[in-house]
């Protein structure tokens, strides 16, 4: 697939990533992850073991022929396929991602499906594509009768969650997040830029300007990484919020231990992001202090556990 901004390539890529805890009491092993992600028989699940265990399903295509989202109300139609894939990180976190890319213009008439199927993951406009309006409309959320790729990602999450090998008793309750993103090529000479916004109900939006020739798959990879780390930070911060040191020990310990057992080791930004896109995360991290906050939270959890151990030991000694 050609990259963003190249002569024959797309001018816009959009996607949505859903992130949730895999609904099982313990992390699944590599074999189980493979079994869960075997969404197609003709293509294997890709596994990687370093720097963390990661499994990703083959891509699934969904054919669409519909109105594109728009903020201005300009109606533009596009036809083609949306790519979707699911990934399991360290056997513990499930991510489903759906994305597409689109060129600036296409044939003035709708072609036969064969024309669109040779470009997987690409939505080809009928006529010109109002790029800005579509990108803004996509981030604002589709209106009725406009393309909504959220359900495509969600249906993968739902399909995997129904699998019989999952015991459906997660060790802690966590809220899912959806991250909606758009990527356009950065203007000449400008560097990568990223605008990250958090809304209610676990929705995040990311507006990216990426180097020329970045492939849509690489942009999706960056957003999956952002979504994973945002989800981790949100989940751990929420669990610690209002957790009073005066709580009875068993309850506090249960929360702290579940975080240590299941989430703390997952923080590993940029482990699977294309090298040219590292600046996007670095910029975001610099501005929002994600890593600093994560380190502080992780340290706090460990300190609490140590304090408790010291306290229970001294209680034991005094009771003797």
Partner 1 sequence: MLVLAASDKGGTGRSVTSANLAYQRSLDGDDVCFLDFDFGSPTAAAVFDLPDGVHRAEGCGLHSYLQGRTGEPLRIDVWSRTEHPALRDRPAGSGRLVLLPGDRTGGEFLTTEENRHRLVDLVLRLQREFSFLFVDLSAGRSYAVDLLLTATSPHAGLGRLENRWLVFHRWTRQHVMAAAELAYGSQGLVHAGTAMGHQPDVLSGSIRFVRAAVPDLESPLWSQVSPAQYVWMRQCDQALEELAAGRGIGKARVLASIPLEPVLQWQERLITDEDVYDRGIARNETWQAMKDLAQRLTIDTFWGQW
Binding residues for partner 1, rule: CB under 8 A, are 20-21, 23, 148, 150-151, 157-158, 161-162, 164, 166-170, 173-176, 201, 242-244, 247, 251
The smaller minimum CB distance to partner 1, of residues 73 and 242, is found at 242
Closest to partner 1 by CB, 132 vs 254, is: 254
Kindly tell me which of 117 and 175 has the beta carbon lying closer to partner 1.
Answer: 175
Three-state SS at 123: strand
Handedness of CA 206, 184, 292, 172 (dihedral sign): positive
Nearest-approach distance from CB 56 to partner 1, in angstroms? 21
d(CA 309, CA 306): 5
List the beta bridge partners of residue 207: 182, 195
Q: Provide the strand spans (E) within the chain.
A: 12-21, 46-48, 54-56, 60-67, 77-89, 93-102, 123-125, 177-185, 193-198, 203-210
For partner 1, the closer of residues 207 and 230 by Cβ is: 230
Q: What are the backbone angles phi and psi of residue 111, rounded to the nearest 5°?
A: -95, 180
Closest distance of CB 236 from partner 1, Å: 15
Query: Residue 166 Cβ, how far from partner 1 at the closest point, in Å?
Result: 8
Residues 6+ away with beta carbon under 8 Å from 292: none
Cβ 168 to partner 1, closest distance in Å? Answer: 5
Q: Considering the complex, what minimum distance in angstroms separates the CB of residue 24 from partner 1? A: 10
Nearer to partner 1, 176 or 261 (CB): 176
């Amino acid at each position: 697939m050609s990259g963003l901004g190249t002569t024959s390539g797309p001018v816009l890529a959009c996607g949505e990533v859903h992130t949730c805890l895999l609904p099982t009491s313990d992390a699944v092993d590599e074999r189980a992850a493979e079994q869960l992600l075997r969404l197609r028989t003709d293509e294997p699940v890709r596994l990687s073991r370093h720097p963390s265990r990661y499994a990703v399903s083959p891509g699934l295509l969904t054919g669409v022929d519909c109105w594109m989202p728009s903020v201005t109300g300009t109606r533009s139609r596009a036809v083609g396929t949306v790519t979707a894939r699911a990934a399991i990180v360290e056997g513990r976190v499930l991510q489903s991602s759906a994305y597409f890319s689109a060129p600036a213009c296409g044939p003035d008439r709708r072609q036969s499906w064969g024309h669109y199927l040779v470009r997987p993951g690409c939505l080809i406009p009928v006529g010109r594509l109002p790029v800005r309006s579509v990108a803004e409309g996509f981030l604002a959320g589709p209106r009725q009768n406009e393309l909504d790729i959220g359900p495509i990602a969600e249906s993968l999450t739902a399909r995997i969650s129904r699998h019989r090998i999952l015991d459906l008793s997660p060790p802690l309750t966590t809220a899912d997040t959806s991250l909606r993103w758009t990527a356009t090529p950065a203007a000449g000479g400008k560097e990568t830029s990223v605008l990250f916004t958090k809304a209610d109900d676990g929705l995040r939006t990311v507006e990216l300007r990426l180097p020329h020739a970045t492939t849509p798959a690489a942009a999706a990879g960056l957003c999956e990484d952002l979504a994973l780390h945002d989800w981790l930070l949100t989940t751990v911060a929420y669990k610690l919020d209002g957790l009073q040191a005066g709580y009875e020990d068993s309850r506090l310990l249960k929360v702290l231990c579940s975080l240590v057992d299941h989430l703390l080791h997952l923080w590993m930004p940029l482990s699977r992001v294309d090298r040219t896109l590292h600046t996007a995360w670095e910029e975001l991290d610099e501005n929002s202090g994600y890593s600093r906050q994560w380190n502080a939270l992780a340290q706090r959890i460990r300190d609490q556990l140590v304090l408790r151990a010291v306290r229970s030991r001294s209680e034991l000694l005094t009771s003797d």
